[in-house]
Amino acid sequence: MQTGTATGAASLLNVTQPAVSQLMTEMEAAVGFALFDRRGGRLVPTPNAALLFDEVERCFTGLDHVNAFCARLQDSSAHAVVLAAAPSMALTLLPIAIGRYVTDVAKDFFTLFPRHSNEAIRLVGSQKADIGFGSTPAELPGIHSEPISTHEAICVLPLGHALAAKPQISARDLHGQPFITMSRTEGVHEIVEGILRREEVEVANVAECTMTTAACSLVENGVGLTLADQAAASFFVGRRVVLRRFVPAVPVTFYAYWLDRAAPHFRRSAFIEILKREALQMEAELDRHLDEAILCPSPL
């Protein structure tokens, strides 16, 4: 999977190439389906192989965490803190909060896994993550959901789009527009669909992204329009997109998740307070950017 050839795998594992070929044959026989297509001396993973690799990688992630935790226990002054967070938060808010925390609070060691909200909740519930972050409240018993910030989704348009001349975008403005739908796993998709139905708006769905930042990147490359949470939208300020407020409002809440029964082995309350402070700061900066759009809308 990593090298693309049996020879490369043999070198990586420090075994012979025939040994790797034999292992592949035995594994394909054990799982009951082909793992690789042989093309011109290279090994191309099948779709089933890619799915299996992802599952195995998740297992090894847990083992890596155990090894890292044991190593960190040798240093009694630091703790290993595992975070699982929605991608837009993992890309923006959390690195800022972690930086503030290690500078001002404690020199703990952080492992940050970008995960969708439901997966972050599942990792917290299985104690594979100390704390999770996402945009849907946890419904599993025993998991606490702490609101971090509540804000309104932002409309993201390609630079030079006709609607960029408007100081804000309404649902009706989206009629007939190429639209990149938001992730169905993050709790906002249903709200947007409900608004479009109520306003009798039909968009031309051109893509669906499970990562809001990826949807914004598609917008940046002219694929269509989308709605984004403030963390994703903030990341694209100053890039080849136009950000506008959207009406009617689409509320988005960021949550932190942790087990009620688990005592934190790091200063969780201090970290949460830092995160809330940084979320307010990000919202204020984004509001200033959006207010400028009202005063000076982009020309056509």
Tell me, yes or no, whether 257 and 205 share the same domain.
no
Element housing 97 (H / E): helix 93-104
In a domain, 236, yes or no: yes
The answer to whether residue 297 is domain-embedded is no
Number of other CB atoms surrounding residue 273 within 10 Å? 15
293 inside domain = no
Instruction: Please check whether residue 226 lies inside any domain of the structure.
Output: yes
Select the more confidently predicted residue: 254 or 265. Answer: 254
Query: How many domains does the chain contain in total?
Result: 3
Same domain for 262 and 207? no
Domain boundary among 35, 53, 71: 53
298 in any annotated domain: no
Report, as an integer, the average pLDDT of 260-282: 94
The residue segments making up the domain with residue 109 are 54-150+253-285
What's the pLDDT band for 26 if we cut at 50, 70, 90?
confident
CATH of the domain at 195: 3.40.190.290
Q: Is residue 23 a part of any domain in this protein?
A: yes
* CATH at 138: 3.40.190.10
Dmax (CA) of the chain: 69
User: Could you tell me if 218 and 271 lie in one domain?
Assistant: no
The mean pLDDT of the chain is: 89
User: In sequence order, which residues have a C-beta less than 8 Å from that of residue 200 and are 6 or more positions away?
Assistant: none
| Each residue's pLDDT tens digit, 34-77 | 888 888 778 888 888 888 888 887 777 677 767 766 665 565 45
CA dihedral 10, 11, 13, 14 (to 10 degrees): 100
**Domain match, 143 and 99 both:** yes
Beta strands, E only, 230-294: 241-247, 251-259
Reported for 116-123, long-range contacts at CB under 8 A and 24+ positions apart, including other chains, are 116/86, 116/87, 116/183, 116/185, 116/186, 116/210, 117/86, 117/185, 117/186, 117/187, 117/255, 118/185, 119/84, 120/84, 120/85, 120/86, 120/257, 121/257, 123/82, 123/84
Residues 124 and 64 in one domain: yes
Q: Are residues 146 and 265 located together in one domain of the fold?
A: yes
257 and 173 in a common domain: no
Tokens 């099948």 correspond to what residue?
46
Could you tell me the pTM of the whole model?
0.72
d(CA 95, CA 278): 10
Predicted confidence (pLDDT) per residue in 175-231, tens digit? 999 999 987 766 678 889 999 999 999 999 999 998 899 999 999 999 999 999 999
Which of 233, 251, 269 is where one domain is finished?
251
Residues forming beta bridges with residue 143, ordered by sequence position: 259
pLDDT at residue 299, as a whole number: 54
What span, in angstroms and rounded, lies between the C-alpha atoms of 48 and 110? Answer: 32
DSSP state of 75: S
Is 17 within the bounds of a domain? yes
pLDDT for 217: 96
Together in a domain, 37 and 98: no
Specify whether 158 is located in the same domain as 246.
yes
pLDDT at 43: 84
pLDDT recorded at residue 76: 45
pLDDT of residue 84: 97
Which run of H or E residues covers position 52? helix 47-73
**Within a domain: 215:** yes
